[in-house]
């Protein structure tokens, strides 16, 4: 196609075009302030030790599939079913035309896959199958392929530097994202790998959070550094690093208070923790993991941006994918920020938090 043809080709007017009118406006993926406030006020059951979770049960005991891919596919059912039903509704016994492409773009954007990914999928289909018959399965295969392309570069394992003793992991995220539970599950995994782990209860504002971390410490055999409720979290971080060094600990994981990303003074406290850690080790924290709750949808994009600016996030953990029809948000975040995705969670059990695989996630969400 010539340059003039490209200039004269009318752009598809899908949901994006109707909402924003131009590609340059796509970056505003935020939600309204009231919607954001409502979401951030939620406190999940899983972060309340008073309501015990079946974390010790195996997948079989919970009636879950044995394989990780089986659990992942089941966990992403809400997201994949919505996408699958939408695709089937458009492409059953139908040629691929501009109207169908617009409808598909709408479905993909509404599934929080991100505007750029949605356009790549529709562009790829238009280039090869426009005005031809196409089945829902063929569309799902293209979806899986494009999602994997976005996710493959960010699917990286969490690497522990054995020369850094202790290797310090700082967990960050808003209230209810699942930080404390994630720390407990990672503690179990690292302990099973032969690592000597110590936990620090840096969410000093909530006695429940401290208690929950202590429960995880007992389950995993990891000592837990605590201080009185209301204590300065930065001081606790300093003392925890000192104790970890003296004990010859391999990995120190520190919990932090859930911070609303639009509260600057709370973000400043998180920055203070990092500064204090560097007084003990200029390279600490060696990893800053941002825990994101998939059920918050587009708000997770805002969290990734603001936390990244505040504390130099090194990797992501996406939780609660089993409770959301918005699993596609992981694709949008990966496409926009390029941050490594280390783990994803699709359930309450320890085995339901696993290293992230781009191909498995793509296949599961596309139902291929």
pLDDT in tens, 171-207: 999 988 999 999 999 999 999 999 999 999 999 888 8
Mean of all residue pLDDT scores within the chain: 83
Q: Looking at the predicted structure, is the pLDDT value of residue 141 above 80?
A: yes
Which range (41-50, 202-211, 249-258) has the least confidence? 41-50
Q: Looking at the predicted structure, is the pLDDT value of residue 5 above 60?
A: no
Q: What is the pLDDT of residues 67-77, one digit of tens each?
A: 878 888 888 88
Q: Looking at the predicted structure, is the pLDDT value of residue 215 above 90?
A: yes
Which range (88-97, 117-126, 154-163) has the least confidence? 88-97
Q: Which pLDDT belongs to residue 350?
A: 86
Per the listing, tokens 């004269």 go with: 8
| φ, ψ of residue 356 in degrees (nearest 5) | -80, 135
Q: What is the pLDDT of residues 128-139, one digit of tens each?
A: 888 888 899 999
Q: Which pLDDT belongs to residue 7?
A: 43
Q: Alpha-carbon torsion 127, 131, 133, 134, what sign? A: positive
HEC-encoded secondary structure of 83-133: HHHHHHHHHCCCECCHHHHHHHHHHHHHCCCCHHHHHHHHHHHHHHHCCCE
Contacts of 268 (CB under 8 A, 6+ apart): none
Q: Which pLDDT belongs to residue 325?
A: 67
Residue 46: how many CB atoms within 10 A of its CB? 20
Q: Among candidates 323, 333, 359, which has minimal Cα distance to 74?
A: 323
Contacts of 4 (CB under 8 A, 6+ apart): none
Q: Which of the residue ranges 61-70, 246-255, 260-269, 324-333 has the most confident prediction, judged by mean pLDDT? A: 246-255
Between these two residues, 6 and 213, which has the higher pLDDT value?
Answer: 213
Q: Which pLDDT belongs to residue 260?
A: 65
Q: Annotate 187-217 with b (16+ C-beta within 10 A) or e (fewer).
A: bbbbbeeebbbbbbbbbbebebbbebbbbbb
pLDDT band at 64; cut points 50, 70, 90: low
3-class SS at 293?
strand
Rounded-to-integer distance, Cα 131 and Cα 177, Å: 45
Between these two residues, 155 and 81, which has the higher pLDDT value?
Answer: 155
> What is the rounded average pLDDT of the residues 296-306?
91
Report DSSP state, residue 349: S
> What is the rounded average pLDDT of the residues 353-358?
94
Q: Among candidates 184, 271, 283, 284, which has minimal Cα distance to 224?
A: 184
Q: What DSSP string describes 24-69?
A: GGTT-----HHHHHHHHT---GGG-TTS---TT--TTTTT--SSHH
For the chain, the C-alpha Rg in angstroms (whole number) is 22
Q: Which pLDDT belongs to residue 65?
A: 56
Rounded-to-integer distance, Cα 234 and Cα 230, Å: 12
Residues 215, 185: contact at Cβ < 8 Å?
no
Between these two residues, 264 and 241, which has the higher pLDDT value?
Answer: 241
> What is the rounded average pLDDT of the residues 52-71?
55
Any alpha helices (H) in the chain, and if so which ranges? 3-8, 15-19, 33-40, 68-75, 77-91, 98-110, 115-129, 136-151, 179-192, 207-220, 233-247, 264-280, 299-311, 329-337, 358-366
Rounded-to-integer distance, Cα 85 and Cα 366, Å: 11
Q: What percent of the chain has pLDDT over 90?
A: 58
Q: Looking at the predicted structure, is the pLDDT value of residue 23 above 80?
A: no
Q: Which pLDDT belongs to residue 273?
A: 96
Q: Looking at the predicted structure, is the pLDDT value of residue 321 above 80?
A: yes
Q: Which pLDDT belongs to residue 221?
A: 94
Rounded-to-integer distance, Cα 20 and Cα 36, Å: 21
pLDDT band at 314; cut points 50, 70, 90: very high
Q: Which pLDDT belongs to residue 297?
A: 87
Q: Alpha-carbon torsion 83, 341, 203, 56, what sign? A: positive
Q: Which pLDDT belongs to residue 92?
A: 77
Q: Looking at the predicted structure, is the pLDDT value of residue 39 above 50?
A: no
Rounded-to-integer distance, Cα 231 and Cα 267, Å: 17
């Amino acid at each position: 196609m010539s340059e003039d043809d490209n200039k004269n080709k009318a752009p598809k007017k899908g949901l994006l075009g109707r909402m924003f009118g131009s590609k340059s406006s796509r970056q505003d993926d935020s939600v309204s302030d009231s919607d954001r406030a409502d979401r951030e006020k939620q406190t999940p059951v899983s972060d309340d030790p008073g309501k015990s979770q079946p974390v010790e049960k195996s997948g079989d005991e919970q009636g879950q599939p044995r394989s990780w891919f089986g659990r992942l596919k089941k966990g992403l059912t809400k997201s994949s079913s919505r996408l699958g039903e939408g695709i089937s509704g458009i492409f059953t016994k139908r040629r691929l035309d501009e109207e169908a492409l617009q409808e598909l773009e709408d479905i993909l954007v509404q599934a929080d896959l991100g505007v750029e990914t949605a356009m790549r999928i529709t562009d790829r289909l238009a280039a090869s199958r426009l005005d031809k018959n196409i089945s829902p399965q063929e569309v799902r295969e293209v979806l899986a392929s494009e999602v994997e392309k976005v996710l493959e570069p960010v699917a990286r394992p969490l690497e522990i530097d054995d020369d850094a003793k202790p290797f310090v992991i700082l967990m960050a995220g808003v209230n209810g994202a699942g930080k404390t539970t994630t720390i407990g599950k990672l503690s179990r995994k690292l302990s099973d790998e032969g690592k000597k782990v110590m936990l620090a209860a840096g969410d000093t504002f909530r006695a429940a959070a401290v208690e929950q971390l202590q429960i995880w410490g007992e389950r995993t055999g990891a000592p837990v550094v605590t201080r009185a409720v209301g204590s300065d979290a930065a001081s606790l971080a300093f003392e925890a690093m000192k104790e970890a060094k003296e004990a010859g600990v391999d990995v120190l994981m520190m919990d932090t208070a859930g911070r609303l990303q639009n509260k600057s003074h709370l973000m400043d406290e998180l920055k203070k923790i990092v500064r204090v850690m560097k007084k003990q080790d200029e390279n600490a924290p060696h990893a800053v993991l941002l825990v994101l709750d998939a059920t918050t949808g587009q708000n997770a994009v805002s969290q990734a941006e603001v936390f990244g600016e505040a504390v130099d996030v090194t990797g992501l953990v996406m939780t609660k994918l089993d409770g959301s029809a918005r699993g596609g948000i992981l694709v949008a975040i990966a496409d926009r920020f390029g941050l490594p995705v280390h783990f994803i969670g699709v359930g309450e059990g320890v085995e339901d938090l696993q290293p992230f695989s781009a191909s498995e996630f793509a296949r599961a969400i596309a139902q291929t």
